[in-house]
């Protein structure tokens, strides 16, 4: 799926095509998962019924600290230039 849903971007029929197709055969895709309720969430009384795919790994692009510091320095210099421009106008 990979899109944000909300008031201005609701679910539509295209979003459910995969579900409807797989529902007929009880098949699975990368967006679906199954659990054994006897040995997992319900039986262990965790009751985690959230709609989060436990098999999908979130990829987070982390920047190197040096790159972050360089960007901060550049932004500080830009802010100083802007402030100097404003002070010259006054």
> Which residues are CB-contacts of 32 (< 8 A; sequence separation ≥ 6)?
22, 53
9 DSSP β-pair partners: 6
CA gap 22, 31 in Å, rounded: 11
pLDDT digit of tens for each residue in the chain (90 aa)? Answer: 467 788 888 888 887 888 888 888 887 777 777 766 666 555 556 666 667 776 777 777 889 999 999 999 999 999 999 999 999 998
């Amino acid at each position: 799926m990979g899109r944000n849903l909300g008031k201005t971007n609701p679910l539509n029929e295209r979003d459910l095509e995969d579900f409807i197709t797989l529902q007929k055969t009880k098949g699975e895709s990368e967006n679906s998962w199954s659990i054994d309720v006897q040995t997992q969430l319900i039986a262990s009384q965790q009751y985690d019924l959230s709609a989060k795919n436990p098999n999908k790994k979130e990829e987070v692009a982390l920047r190197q600290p040096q790159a972050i510091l360089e960007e901060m320095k550049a932004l500080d210099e830009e802010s100083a230039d802007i402030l100097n421009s404003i002070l010259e106008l006054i």
